[in-house]
Structure 1
Amino acid sequence: MLHPEFSQSNRQRTTNGSLSRRRLLQILGGSSALFGLGACDGGFSLGGGSDLPPAGAIGQAALLAPLSGSRASIGQIMAATASLGGQPTNLGAEVAVVDAGDDAATAVTAATTAVASGAKMILGPLFSAQARAVAAAVGRNVPVVSLSNDSSIAGGNLFVFGLTPQQSARAVIGFAATRGKRNIAVVVPPGAFGQLAASAAQTSARAFGVTMPAPLTLASADGVVARLKEANSGKLPDAVYLPVVGGPFEAQAGALKAAGVQLLGSEQWGAIAPFRVPALIGGWFAAPDPVRFEAFATALESEAGSEAGIVAGLTFDAVEMARILGRLDRQSRSGLLREAGFDGVLGPYRFTKDGQCERGLAVLSVVQGATTLIGASAA
């Protein structure tokens, strides 16, 4: 199943992405060229392509996208993104784009057809139920790099590539710890995703030596400040992590802001233009580096006429990764686990043996009218 942060992030880029990126660049300055991003003969690339063997003789991969069904609009963005690097969309290409539909059966058919046609690696599908079925169908020797953000499905030949609650929590809680926030609480709404985000926060707190009381699960803002004091020996924590946008989020943020608490947020905050929410001014949240992402976003909008969101960024990074590994004849589990990891438009990342992805994210501060880069985590 697709977690809420995924769909919200993509929707924000569709509605106001260009405006927010331009404003970010005005605040941040700098150039994406610093990260080795640019154009190549076949389209936009991550750079370094001239060091690779020529295409066509070594590896092939397949990108499974929902080109039909209820989520076809997402699939079209994925296909446009894959073509940005000069990738044809037919079977037999370096990275072929095939229709996964929107259920497990259609995804399995697409994957097994691609493997029979020579694909050594599967990119996608987007959704966890499809990804599980595909990984089982293609066998353990074919790595499946799902764009899902459901970290619970990882393992064996199935790798999770989406932006996960663990990545956001690690980035922003780790940064807050360096700023002297050593007692951090987490507040989430009821539901499975909230519990996953709370668990990720607790894991990160332990990793950085941060004291964290038991997470609060609240369906409203009523009594949130009093409940935090009760859970924290009668005093307010140094900061409160609000990772899930929606429901009581804004009301809770307002109550905590009024109490003078430092607010922390996840990648979901980027989906709502947080500078438009008065309670979030001064808050810190995790997100892909906006300067690094800008060159890619501009290229996609110029070449394909599509707004660039998180799904597009994940797609591009996955396609480039597969292309590079293919030319190095390393489209395999060991190739994915290479010690150096990878670099992408969403930041540096590397895969771990348990199928998870460790990703370096930026930390942004919400200021009047914009957000500004204040820190970053390593992959």
Structure 2
Amino acid sequence: MSADTTERGRQRGRKLQEILYECSAATAKVTGRRAFLTGLAATPFLTGCGVADAFRSETTKTGGPGQAALLLPLSGQSAQLGEMLQTAVSLGGGPGIGIEIYDSGSTPEDAAAAARNAVDGGARMLVGPVFGAQARAVAAAIPRNVPVVTLSNDVSLAGDGVFVFGVTPAHSAQAVLSLASQRNLRDIALVVPPGTFGAQSVAAAQPLAASLGIRLRAPLVLESASGLRDALAAGGGLPDAVYLPAADASLRPFAAALAGLGPQLIGSAQWAALDLEADRDFRDAWFAAPDPLRFAPFKEAFAEAYGAPGGIISGLAYDGTELLRVLGQRGQQTRRGLLNKEGFSGVVGPYRFLDSGECQRGLAVLKVGAGEFSMIGATSV
């Protein structure tokens, strides 16, 4: 990546931040056109108007910068990820005064040491680390009055000073199941892989489905598509929809097994990392994702700065940096500041932290077309 490319990316990032601050008045106009948006990948840079109105309002604050830290994996096995996240946080002018970057390495011990150094250096709030085991180590290594906003999506981390900032199974389920209910899809099968993500997807979907009047069948825990049709038949025949939250190696075989059978295929925000629009087995499928009106400008600025796509994790790093900036300007880099009832807004979408350490987050629902996506719904907080 050349110095010229990096500088162009930073300039685009600064332009992005200007848009985030200056275009909030367009939000109401955009909202009425959501159902007509198509072509996420081709969305022009300037369609970002309306993003981060909460950030814009804070430009008039005069409380001065705070003291906070970003914990990024800049060395060890995850150094490439750390480089990507460092590019993301450099957009919009970089971390800025009062926000330092510390290398959290790739082990829990590395992250704990980085957190202690940050707190010893005066940090009152931390964004990062990325990984769950590191977040646990950090929480145990520093005073509980220093909030830790981890980029992980593991909801089991929430509490005891840790706030989970990642896009969780609950966020995806809220978006796609709400739309399913609105469209009268009342009988839904849930297919998940073995393991933590699958269990968390089930735990998120079951109470939500009940509240929406959806009959969510007993979850099918499968590692492969073999026997999927028989399992669905045994559960009462073909459902109205099949929810496949995991985007692992089993996803495409599952979609192929269901192609042409009739159930609506729906997925989580994990699908956003995949190129699905060229695969006919996913035609007309729905999945949760960041609102393209918010995310496309960031995506373009990041790709120009880094030379490759970044994805949701990069957007979270950017939003975490902006969160620190906003709370620093307010003089509220504290637990109380995080729990602002009005919430916050970023390139990944609107969000609000809860006292439990969990995060409510609004997402869009995109429909897969032939070479494009269209936005067919969205949730807020």
* Same fold, judged at TM 0.5 (above): yes
Task: Return the offset for 1:191.
Answer: 2.8
Task: Return the offset for 1:126.
Answer: 0.4
More displaced 10-residue stretch of structure 1: 250-259 or 296-305 = 296-305
Q: Structure 1 residues 261, 60: closer, same or farther in 2, change over 3 A?
A: same
Alignment correspondent of 1:16: none
Alignment correspondent of 2:276: 274
Q: Matched residues in 2 for 1:310 and 1:268: separation? A: 9
Task: Return the offset for 1:54.
Answer: 6.2
* 1:69 equivalenced with 2:76 (yes/no): yes
Q: Matched residues in 2 for 1:175 and 1:212: separation? A: 14
- Which AA in structure 1 matches 2:251? F
Give 5+ residue unaligned stretches, structure 2. 1-36
Q: Structure 1 residues 217, 36: closer, same or farther in 2, change over 3 A?
A: closer
Residue in structure 2 matching 1:340, options 334, 339, 342: 342
Residue in structure 2 matching 1:172, options 169, 172, 176: 176
Alignment correspondent of 2:34: none
Residue in structure 2 matching 1:369, options 360, 368, 371: 371
More displaced 10-residue stretch of structure 1: 275-284 or 121-130 = 275-284
* 1:52 equivalenced with 2:61 (yes/no): yes
* 1:24 equivalenced with 2:40 (yes/no): yes
Alignment correspondent of 1:292: 294
Residues 52, 324 of structure 1: 8 Å contact kept: no
Matches within 5 A, 1:278-357: 278-303=280-305, 305=307, 307-357=309-359
Residue in structure 1 matching 2:253, options 224, 246, 251: 251
Q: Matched residues in 1 for 2:235 and 2:175: separation? A: 24
- Which AA in structure 1 matches 2:59? S
Task: Return the offset for 1:305.
Answer: 4.6
Give CA deviations for 1:128-170 in whole Å, capped at 9, x if unaligned. Answer: 1111111121111100000011111111200100111111111
* 1:161 equivalenced with 2:165 (yes/no): yes
* 1:125 equivalenced with 2:134 (yes/no): no
Alignment correspondent of 1:81: 88
Q: Matched residues in 1 for 2:152 and 2:72: separation? A: 12
Task: Return the offset for 1:83.
Answer: 2.1
Alignment correspondent of 2:226: 222
Residues 202, 219 of structure 2: 8 Å contact kept: yes
Give 5+ residue unaligned stretches, structure 1. 1-20, 38-44
- Which AA in structure 2 matches 1:257? A
Q: Matched residues in 1 for 2:136 and 2:77: separation? A: 20
Residues 85, 314 of structure 2: 8 Å contact kept: yes
The secondary structure found in structure 2 opposite 1:134 is helix
Q: Matched residues in 1 for 2:46 and 2:184: separation? A: 28
- Which AA in structure 2 matches 1:33? C
Task: Return the offset for 1:125.
Answer: 0.4
Q: Matched residues in 1 for 2:52 and 2:124: separation? A: 27
More displaced 10-residue stretch of structure 1: 121-130 or 192-201 = 192-201
The secondary structure found in structure 1 opposite 2:62 is coil
- How many residues are aligned here? 345
Residues 82, 97 of structure 1: 8 Å contact kept: no
Alignment correspondent of 2:49: 33
- Which AA in structure 2 matches 1:76? E
- Which AA in structure 1 matches 2:101? V
Q: Structure 1 residues 326, 29: closer, same or farther in 2, change over 3 A?
A: closer
The two structures have a TM-score, normalised by structure 2, of 0.85
Residues 108, 133 of structure 1: 8 Å contact kept: yes
Q: Matched residues in 1 for 2:303 and 2:151: separation? A: 21
Q: Matched residues in 1 for 2:44 and 2:183: separation? A: 21
Q: Matched residues in 1 for 2:210 and 2:45: separation? A: 35
Give CA deviations for 1:241-270 in whole Å, capped at 9, x if unaligned. Answer: 011122332222122222111111111212
The two structures have a TM-score, normalised by structure 1, of 0.85
Matches within 5 A, 1:138-149: 138-149=142-153
Task: Return the offset for 1:306.
Answer: 5.5
Residues 87, 94 of structure 1: 8 Å contact kept: no
Q: Matched residues in 1 for 2:59 and 2:89: separation? A: 19
* 1:111 equivalenced with 2:120 (yes/no): no
Alignment correspondent of 1:3: none
% identical equivalent positions? 45
Question: RMSD across aligned C-alpha pairs, in angstroms?
Answer: 2.3
More displaced 10-residue stretch of structure 1: 70-79 or 337-346 = 70-79
Q: Matched residues in 2 for 1:293 and 1:195: separation? A: 29
Q: Matched residues in 2 for 1:102 and 1:294: separation? A: 30
* 1:209 equivalenced with 2:213 (yes/no): yes
- Which AA in structure 1 matches 2:75? S
Task: Return the offset for 1:231.
Answer: 1.5
